[in-house]
Structure 1
Amino acid sequence: MLVLWECDGQTVNQIGAKLHLDSGTLTPLLKRLQAKELIKRERSQEDERVVQVFLTPSGKDLADEACTIPEQMAQCLNLEASEVALLRKIVGKLAG
């Protein structure tokens, strides 16, 4: 959802590249999100092999609720802001 909140209407391949997931792993996740009516998947009119993913109004509304998650996680972990920043930096290096 974070990837789509950054830029709606991306292809499955674009989302997979950003998340480091292949389509075999990503497709079941997208199907679950579609079943919850958070996204819709559409075949491209230019190339039917390409599937684009769009947020539904419910999916867009969920972004507001998600904004509170980082703060809640930090409270649960009992970390200071500087420690959270360091953790993000380390995770970024691991993911990159």
Structure 2
Amino acid sequence: MSDNPLEPSETRNARIQARARALWEADGKPGCGADAYLEQAGDLVGMEENPTAGEIPVSDLPPPDLADIQVENARIQENLGEFPERLTDQGDRAHFPERENERDA
């Protein structure tokens, strides 16, 4: 047997089956059966086997004296020139065509 979590093993599958059954019983034994809980049980067993798998170490923390300083996100600057003028949406332009003279009517 291998310690590789990607390779199926009988002990791991037994743990997943037991966890799926426990989840199914905790939900009141719905008609779908314990097999419906296999994916969720597999995720939980994987988290138990590798509790630090999703953690990324932080190596570049800011100095403690800068902890209270608020910095705006630089992505905000990308949108600054795209908004209409202050009066554009408030009726400074006609929203329908006007007749130039009465003959066109």
The TM-score normalised by the length of structure 2 is 0.21
Tell which structure's C-alpha radius of gyration is larger. 2
**More helix as a share of residues:** 1
- Relative contact order higher in (CA < 8 Å, ≥ 6 apart): 1
The TM-score normalised by the length of structure 1 is 0.23
**More strand as a share of residues:** 1
